[in-house]
Amino acid sequence: MEAERDQAGMLLRMFTDAVPGVVYAKDRAGRFMVANHGVAELLGLPPEAFLGRTDEDVLADSTQSAAIMATDRRIMDSGVGEQVEEEVMLSDGTPAIWLSSKAPWRDKDGNILGLIGSSVDITDRKRMENELRVSEQRFALAMDVAQFGTWVWDVQTGDVRMDPRCRQIVGAATDDAVVTLDVLSQRIHPEDWPRVEAALQHALQPGSDGSYTEEFRWIHADGQVVWTMSRGQVLFESDVPNARPLSMIGTVLDITERRRMVESLEQADRRKDEFLAMLAHELRNPLAPIGTAASLLEMAPVDDEARVRQIGGIITRQVAHMTELVDDLLDVSRVTRGLVNFAREPVDIRAVMDAAVEQAQPLIAARGHALTTQVSDTALVIGDRHRLVQVVANLLNNAAKYTPANGRLQMSIQVQNEKVQLRVTDNGIGMDGALLPTVFELFAQGKRTPDRSQGGLGIGLALVRSIVEQHGGTVTATSPGLNLGSTFIMTLPLAATDEALVKAPSASTRTSTSLKILVVDDNRDAAELLAILLEAQGHDPEIAVDGAGAVAMVRAEPRWDACILDIGLPDMTGYELARQLKMVSDCSTYIALTGYDQSSDRQKSKAAGFDHHLAKPADFGQLQQILNGIDAVKLEYS
């Protein structure tokens, strides 16, 4: 019997030593009674050093030993086995995590004598689990930051599993974490589903690379349409040609805002192209009669004064029209970029309306329209009177142009809630719903007829909006539909009651005297024509076509009343010429006459010593006003 017990004990020790990890038995006091070789390796102690001793006696970390012994007592007291994770520092000081399975040790009568257990080192597994969890958290964060939703499609069952963001993007219910592809396809826009289905089927083919990318629309339950970009990759079982698709994993991104921006840019590009075509058309219109008039002047007898005057009138009108087109372009560019300084003075909105009616009256009368006005109260606003008249005249001209002959136009002013509202209504061609959102955009116009009878460049309303907004107001447009008329409403804040009216000084009429004027322009025709006009006003002009010629003339005759200089000369700039002339001439007034009319160009002119800056083609009335100022000085000292 004793030999058999010894043999059994030896077999038990061999068995426990062969078990991976640690195997042990403890008595009720927590002392090691039996332990395999793994316990000795864990503790770094021979068996005789820890058998009969507790964890508190042999473990270096008292916190760890206390936690282990507390677990052991709980199991022995409850009589119920447990599987727990325990932190135990290895003999070399390395921290480790062990998965321990422990159960009560009972005698034949069921009395608990102690505890038996086994533990396995799971440190590497826990590290990999933590790394995987961190990786998943980083991936989820990246998806969240990038606004991506993720999905997995089980090709065999047809089920699609979606994360919360994916469900949000496609409009699925919060509890629809798993739905079938057939159900999802009902939410894809019917125009897009055939294309999406074809792309999915192509990706599933064994010969493909399994990738899938499509942009398409989802329709939410509330009718909202969401554009998405979806990407996916198929996982195949086996290789070609026996590859069988198992699943597809992918992402989805809401690109609704991007699509809107692209569509907006495409629309703006179309409007730009239409504008360039219109601009070419509008510029050709006045150029044709100007060219014809020039040919007639060549053929007309010198003494046919009536014919020359008639032709001259045609040229003047057409040049004025071209100038108006170019001025409109420059004006809208400067205003929309905030380069225009607006006057800040009290303005009577009724006076603005009256002045605008006066400007628009020729067009209104020509088309046989009836205009009625209604003003309820006196209304003062703070702003630039000239620009506000420009706004209202533009609205009136717009109504007159887009209303068939013999139409009805109405304009009214109302004061309400510290704001003044000016309303222009017509019974014209109206606007459809597609035009209304963009009617104040640059170059936007309604449908045009081939003859472009309404004319214009489509920039007037963009200018209106910019001017009104820089006055702290708003402008809106409404229309019941095509051929049902339109209404434009300008709203401005009322001026404070304690602000006084400011009147601009009026220009006085000057008596003209003969001035000696130097005209410098590399365009000889332009220089000669301006000299003829000046001569007709009783002045004494001379011309030069380059800077060197002008300097030579001034050296020979230093006394001049005015120098009118082009800026873009072939041999030097007008700025440089002005500086040279100032050193050798006795001239009181320098006038820049140029096609360069940006704010920076005016600043350069001023820095070069110019007294005035006029844009080509010259407004002769404005030039006359400048020359009249020189006249007044000469008269005063003559």
Mean pLDDT of the chain: 83
Res. 135 pLDDT band, cuts 50 70 90: confident
Say whether both 81 and 218 belong to one domain: no
The domain that holds 88 is classified in CATH as 3.30.450.20
Say if residue 363 is in the same domain as residue 472: yes
62 and 191 fall within a common domain: no
Give the residue from 304, 336, 368 where a domain finishes: 336
List the CATH number of the domain containing 427. Answer: 3.30.565.10
Among 20-24, 35-39, 440-444, 568-572, name the one with the lowest average pLDDT.
440-444
Indicate whether 210 and 236 sit together in one domain. yes
Residue 214 lies in a domain: yes
Instruction: For residue 507, name the pLDDT band (cuts at 50, 70, 90).
Output: very low
This prediction's pTM: 0.42
Q: Which of 254, 274, 293 is the last residue of a domain?
A: 254
Q: DSSP secondary-structure letter at 473?
A: -
On whether both 361 and 487 belong to a single domain, the answer is yes
pLDDT, tens only, 563-572: 999 988 888 9
φ, ψ dihedrals at 399, nearest 5°: -65, -40
Choose the final residue of a domain: 336, 363, 381: 336
How many other C-beta atoms are found inside a 10 Å radius of the C-beta of residue 157? 11
User: Does a structural domain hold residue 587?
Assistant: yes
Q: Are residues 209 and 320 in the same domain?
A: no
Same domain for 307 and 181? no
Please report whether residue 418 resides in a domain: yes
Rounded CA-CA distance 537/562 in Å is: 14
**Are residues 367 and 489 located together in one domain of the fold?**
yes
**Span 513-541, mean pLDDT?**
86
Give me the number of domains the chain comprises.
Answer: 5
% residues pLDDT > 70 (the chain): 81
Largest alpha-carbon pair distance within the chain?
A: 156
Q: How long a stretch of residues is the chain? A: 638
- CATH number of the domain at 270, please: 1.10.287.130
373 and 326 co-located in one domain? no
HEC string for 116-185: EEEEEECHHHHHHHHHHHHHHHHHHHHHHHCCEEEEEEECCCCEEEECHHHHHHHCCCCCCCEEEHHHHH
- Residue 138 domain flag: no
Nearest Cα to 589, choosing from 552, 568, 559? Answer: 559
* Stretch 459-463: mean pLDDT: 79
User: Domain for residue 551, yes or no?
Assistant: yes
Statement to judge: residues 482 and 367 lie in one domain:
yes
Q: Considering the domain boundaries, does residue 269 fall inside one?
A: yes
Is the pLDDT at 585 greater than 60? The verdict is: yes
- Residue whose C-alpha is closest to residue 165's, from 149, 143, 177, 179: 149
Query: What are 103-114's pLDDT values in tens digits?
Result: 999 998 999 999
- Same domain, residue pair 352 and 327: no
Q: 270: closest CA among 262, 259, 282, 281?
A: 262
The answer to whether 552 touches 576, Cβ cutoff 8 Å, is no
Q: What is the spatial distance between Cα 261 and Cα 119, in angstroms, rounded to a whole number?
A: 62
Residue 189 host element (H or E)? none
The boundaries of the domain holding residue 353 are 345-493
Same domain for 358 and 329, yes or no, is no
Task: For residue 137, tell me if it sits in a domain.
Answer: no
Assign residue 608 the CATH number of its domain: 3.40.50.2300
Say if 36 falls within a structural domain.
Answer: yes
Tally of CB atoms within 10 A around 26 = 23
